Amino acid sequence: MGKYIFSRLINMIPTLFVVAIIVFLITRMIPGDPASVMLGPQASREDVEALTEALGLNEPIHIQFMQYIGNLLKGDFGVSLSYNQPITDLIINRFPNTVILAVSALIIAFMIGVPAGIISASKQNSLIDYSITTISLIGVSMPIFWLGVMLVLYFSVNLGWFPATGMGSMADGFISYLKHLILPSITLATIPTATFARITRSSMLEVITQDYIKTARSKGISEFIVIFKHAFKNAFNPLLTVLGLQISSLLGGAVLTETIFSWPGMGLLIIDAIEKRDFVVVQSTVLFIALIFVIVNLVVDILYKVVNPKISYSTNKGGTK
Amino acid sequence: MSDMLLTVENLEVQFRSGSTLTKAVNGVSFSLNRKENIGIVGESGSGKSVTATSLLRLIPDPPGKITGGKIIFEDKDLLKLSDKAMRKIRGNEISMIFQDPSTSLNPVYTVGNQIVESIKTHQHLNRKEAKEKAVHMLELVGIPEARKRFSMYPHEFSGGMRQRVMIAIALACNPKLLIADEPTTALDVTVQAQILNLMKDLQHSIDTSIIMITHDLGVIWETCDKVLVMYAGNVVESGTVQEIYDNPLHPYTWGLLDSQITESVSSEEELSTIPGSPPDLSLDISGCPFAARCPFAEEICLKKTPEMIEAAEGHFTACHFQTKEHRLDRKEEKVDDRSNIKS
């Protein structure tokens, strides 16, 4: 197991290197020149050229890339052109906000989606099953930007229950903090909730027809234990895969949700940086997100083993067998 | 305490799928005394497994439903019990083991956990006592190094060992009745005999009755006192093992006997089979369900359903031509006549 984790960690290096190359190239393809964007339309040509040189943007692209990688190896994510701050500081400021939002959304999604899927599967073809299936289909196909705006319109503008934008501070009290959190988390939770419900349902349906479920029933244990102990643990693997993917993408910053609610997380930071052509911020934050993605997936792979004792890891094949 | 353990009267089970209604079991009746073993034999789809599963009310509903009859187990009609009362019977007074031990144990829990669960559901033992009992059960079913094996997962066991674990789970609460649904079908021939011997040995030590579901008459001769021969959801012949072995009456039973592979079958000979396949149970069957495949069938067989009659003492059969007064001769198959009665 230790060997397996070590080899997976080593394997992360080439993955991240490739991500770094791709992100570097893509940011360079965005039309628009950072120096002129930063200085505004009124700036003189000389000023723009001077800034371009100061930022090192006049160097050939491969030299820029080598410098970037060199800095990364030293643990230096670079300095933001627009914020005038080390990017590490920006990430340290923003990432916890994203984590709070993502974790709240995941808790909502898990608490609602998974039980809904279980109920749906155990009452297959009943009215409640059809209702849950229909609602979750609507859920997965929900345009988030529209839902977010509608929630703001109704609950913030009409009813005035929750603030429309921004992130509360603990200094104003926990209630205010929670009020700021509710609408963005619900918005962000919609698709994961529906996804969990659908995956749980299909995975449970496959499991509850298995012989060992009949064995469990033949022992005289209650239906609740049959479903939650015997069936659910077996149905958990596909759910874990989806959970891993959802965590990764939510931690990467929910770009749409954060933009609608002006939530100061990673998503909003990336959007700002793209608008300002702040290449270094885009590169480094995307690379950071890739890092999170890879780590979460590694954790999920390790958790498979906890859930399913049949899975064993071998280092020589570098994967599961 | 009466000697009668189980009486099944006119059990009917149907499955509905869309607009199709399949009558899987059509009025099956039999009874079983304490410490007695009954075998239910028939080919796939004859309703034997459905009958057995219905006894524990484990038919998945929907699509299945027990639509009629009585299952009297020690003066209680199981079909009238509440779900809770039924759960007290399952695994405690009536246990079941299934055909395929590779799928009937839960892959994500240790075998120990699965035996302990059964014990703790029905007996007031603490965790430690339940574990001791589970280890004892594993030893009883002949699993070496039981204490170490207790915390192993099903995939770490061979097929025969898994079936032993299933038997340990089933017998953990000393049930009065054990339903074994083809317990040896999925096992190697060499292991089959071991499992059957184990079941016979344990039966004597815990005084349980067994309902043995199988398509292998050899298993019945080995283990049972009585036999029910089922075809298309009906019992076509029943009696003691001795009677049916010595003096089988129903043409379907003859077919089953003839298609057995025994030492006397030479490798040169073509194996004997029953031509055709069982009828579609979602269609109404008029007359004898076996008529279409029966080498002795005549007009009446297609029109009138034969009654179950006592052709010899304790030996019942449902065939128009097997009565006390009149008997068919097993060797005289009227093959030619079949062309006349094709419907």
In SS3 terms, chain A reads as CHHHHHHHHHHHHHHHHHHHHHHHHHHHHCCCCHHHHHHCCCCCHHHHHHHHHHCCCCCCHHHHHHHHHHHHHCCCCCECCCCCCEHHHHHHHHHHHHHHHHHHHHHHHHHHHHHHHHHHHHCCCCHHHHHHHHHHHHHHCCCHHHHHHHHHHHHHHHCCCCCCCCCCCHHHCHHHHHHHHHHHHHHHHHHHHHHHHHHHHHHHHHHCCCHHHHHHHHCCCCHHHHHHHHHHHHHHHHHHHHHHHHHHHHHCCCHHHHHHCCCCCHHHHHHHHHHCCCHHHHHHHHHHHHHHHHHHHHHHHHHHHHHCCCCCEECCCCEEC
Least-confidence region, from A302-306, B83-87, B94-98, B327-331? B327-331
| Substitution target from B95, B108, B163 for chain A, most A beta carbons within 10 A | B108
Within an 8 Å CB–CB cutoff, is residue A151 touching chain B?
no
Pairs across A and B, CB distance < 8 A: 69
Whether A221 sits inside 8 A of B104 (CB atoms) is no
**pLDDT at residue B1 in the model:** 58
Q: Is the pTM of this model over 0.80?
A: no
**pLDDT at residue A130 in the model:** 92
To which residue do tokens 């229909």 refer? A134
Domain covering A87-275 in this structure, CATH number: 1.10.3720.10
How close B237 gets to chain A, by Cα (Å)?
A: 29
* Burial class of residue A251 in the structure, from the number of CB atoms within 10 Å of its CB (0-12 exposed, 13-18 middle, 19+ buried): buried
Q: Using a CB-CB distance cutoff of 8 angstroms, which residues of chain B are in contact with residue A212? A: 103-107
Please give the structure tokens belonging to residue A226. 């049959």
Please give the structure tokens belonging to residue A239. 């759910």
Least-confidence region, from A104-108, B112-116, B216-220? B216-220
**pLDDT at residue A321 in the model:** 36
Q: String of b and e for B67-97 (b: at least 16 CB within 10 Å)?
A: eebebbbbeeebbebeeeebbebbbbbbbbb
Average pLDDT, chain B: 83
Least-confidence region, from A239-243, A276-280, B302-306, B322-326? B322-326
Q: How many residues does chain A have?
A: 321
Within an 8 Å CB–CB cutoff, is residue A221 touching chain B?
yes
Whether B90 sits inside 8 A of A219 (CB atoms) is yes
Within an 8 Å CB–CB cutoff, is residue B103 touching chain A?
yes
Q: Using a CB-CB distance cutoff of 8 angstroms, which residues of chain A are in contact with residue B106? A: 212, 215-216, 230, 234
Going residue by residue through chain A (321 aa), what tens digit of pLDDT does each one get? Answer: 778 888 888 888 888 888 888 888 887 777 767 777 777 777 777 777 877 777 777 777 788 888 878 887 887 777 777 777 888 888 888 888 888 888 899 999 999 999 999 999 888 888 988 999 999 999 888 888 888 888 888 887 788 787 777 777 767 777 777 778 888 888 888 888 999 999 999 999 999 888 899 899 999 888 888 998 889 888 888 888 888 888 877 876 578 888 888 888 888 888 888 887 777 788 888 888 888 888 888 888 888 877 777 776 654 444 443
Least-confidence region, from A35-44, B63-72, B233-242, B280-289? A35-44
Please give the structure tokens belonging to residue B269. 């000979």
pLDDT at B148 over 80: yes
Which member of A211, A220, A233 has the closest CB to residue B98? A211
Within an 8 Å CB–CB cutoff, is residue A212 touching chain B?
yes
Q: What average pLDDT score do residues B90-95 get?
A: 89
**pLDDT at residue A252 in the model:** 64
Which member of A221, A233, A234 has the closest CB to residue B121? A221
Q: Using a CB-CB distance cutoff of 8 angstroms, which residues of chain B are in contact with residue A305? A: none
Within an 8 Å CB–CB cutoff, is residue A38 touching chain B?
no
Query: Each residue of B244-274: pLDDT tens digit?
Result: 888 888 888 888 888 777 777 777 777 778 8
pLDDT at B63 over 90: no
**pLDDT at residue A131 in the model:** 93
The residue of chain A nearest to residue B90, with distances taken between CA atoms, is: A220
Within an 8 Å CB–CB cutoff, is residue A230 touching chain B?
yes
